[in-house]
């Protein structure tokens, strides 16, 4: 995963993967999307996360998924 997007540090949220520079777990974005909320809804709720971070994360997941399916 792109190092500038995700941070995993035992000192931050007990090592839960978060958006770098925040305390917002990656799982929170996934929960929002699963619940039918938009990226904009997520960003409004968590202004410390930048849109670029969300898009970079989703692009990386997409690339890994497509590579695994090939």
| pLDDT at res. 41 | 98
Domains of the chain: 6-69 (1.10.10.10)
Percent of the chain past pLDDT 90, that is, above it, reads 89
Find out whether 49 and 42 touch, Cβ atoms under 8 Å.
Answer: yes
In the prediction, which pLDDT does 31 show? 98
* pTM (predicted TM-score): 0.87
Q: Which helix (H) or strand (E) holds 54?
A: helix 51-69
pLDDT at 2: 55
pLDDT digits (tens, 9 = 90+) for 14-25: 999 999 999 999
Tell whether the torsion through CA atoms of 9, 54, 64 and 30 is positive or negative.
positive
The parts of the chain modelled with pLDDT lower than 70 are: 1-3
Which residues, 6 or more positions from 64, have their beta carbon under 8 angstroms from its beta carbon?
none
């Amino acid at each position: 995963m792109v190092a500038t997007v995700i941070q995993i540090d035992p000192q931050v949220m007990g090592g839960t993967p978060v958006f770098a520079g925040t305390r917002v777990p990656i799982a929170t974005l996934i929960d929002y999307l699963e619940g039918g909320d938009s990226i904009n809804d997520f960003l409004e709720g968590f202004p410390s996360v930048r849109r670029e971070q969300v898009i970079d994360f989703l692009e990386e997941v997409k690339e890994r998924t497509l590579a695994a399916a090939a």
